Amino acid sequence: MTARPRSAFAGARPAAFAAAAALAAALAAGCTSVTRVVTTAGAAAGVITPEQAESINKSAAAIEKSYEDITPEQEYYIGRAVAATVLVTYAPYDAPAANEYLNLLGQTLSLFGAAPETFGGYHFILLDTEEINAFSAPGGLVMISRGMVRLCGSEDELAAVLAHEIGHVENQHGLRAIKKGRLTSAVMTMLAEGGKSFGGAELAQLTEAFENCIGDIAGTLMNSGYARATEYEADASALAILRSAGYDPAALVGMLREMQKRWVPNGPGFGRTHPEPSDRIAEIQAQIGAAPAAAAPSVRVARFKEKMRGV
């Protein structure tokens, strides 16, 4: 007679099964208060230990939290943390007049977007780096490098860059990524906590090491940029903002052509975080046609040169 395959759970302690059953029941109820009732009763009856009960409670709370809607206030504080992380790598550029102009332009454009108001408002800042890139954090915190500004030949092209970043904010692209990360983190918490309580010393060490890797993974995801479809969505939002604000949507194409000239796949700056500009140009021209950008009004040209002189 053929022996039955040994289960991966064979030899596990009965308490582990009881704890797992308690966790499953609590998660099915979808409420951390129910979880605590179940675990308190289990611990009192001696079915699970107090440490196991706390592990289950922590796991259930993390999973429930991952499904909560993020409020505008939470979005703002998440965005501040993201921006602070960016500013660790890229220092702010100390140019009061240029930053004031950048904020006036960006905040004006945001009024024509789908999310003209955020909890903390839109804020824009120059980064002191030659890299060509821009970042938008949840809640309306937008950072643009000196290298990107230097690539702009006009206020219309700068407006196109800012409108694209506003598009990321109003479509909550950052939050979408954070929500996925929080859900994954919840699952990892469940596994890590379960390992610490129910497994041996070696497994506990392994899960502790794995927890430390979560931060590294999150950093990798932040540096890899958004998916192609997400960039297309931000471009579509930018076109709508530019039209409504009286700027030429074709300026976004002009900006991308300049970026294409400097495109290095997986290189520093936008080459690491964005799809190839030529792909975005094709997508945009399918929406607005292939006509070149019109000449910008002289007042915009003069204003741009004056405010961004020396950046």
Q: What three-state secondary structure class fits 36?
A: helix
Mean pLDDT of 209-233: 54
pTM of the model: 0.68
Retrieve residue 112's tokens: 């024509």
List strands edge to edge, sheet with 141-145: 123-127, 141-145, 134-137
Choose between 242 and 214: higher pLDDT: 242
Q: SS3 string of 126-166?
A: EECCCCCCEEEECCCEEEEEHHHHHHCCCHHHHHHHHHHHH
- Predicted local confidence at residue 266, as pLDDT: 72
**What are the residue boundaries of the structural domains of the chain, listed by start?**
12-68, 72-174+226-307
> What does the mean pLDDT of the chain come to?
75
3-state secondary structure of 228: helix
pLDDT at 218 over 70: no
Query: Residue 238's closest CA among 112, 61, 154?
Result: 112
Question: Do residues 94 and 311 make contact, with C-beta atoms less than 8 angstroms apart?
Answer: no
- Asked whether the predicted pLDDT for residue 113 surpasses 80, the reply is yes
User: What per-residue confidence (pLDDT) applies to 30?
Assistant: 43
Residue 211 vs residues 150, 216, 304: alpha-carbon distances, Å: 41, 10, 48
Instruction: Between 157 and 193, name the one with better pLDDT.
Output: 157
Of residues 290 and 304, more confidently modeled: 304
β-pairing, 123-127 vs 134-137, is unpaired
Query: In the predicted model, is pLDDT for residue 206 greater than 80?
Result: no
The residues, any chain, with a CB within 8 Å of residue 145's CB and separated by 6 or more, are: 90, 126, 127, 129, 130, 131, 132, 133, 134, 269
Residue 236 near residue 285, CB atoms below 8 Å = no
For 25-59, write each residue's pLDDT tens digit: 444 444 555 556 666 766 777 766 787 777 666 66
pLDDT over 50 (residue 205): no
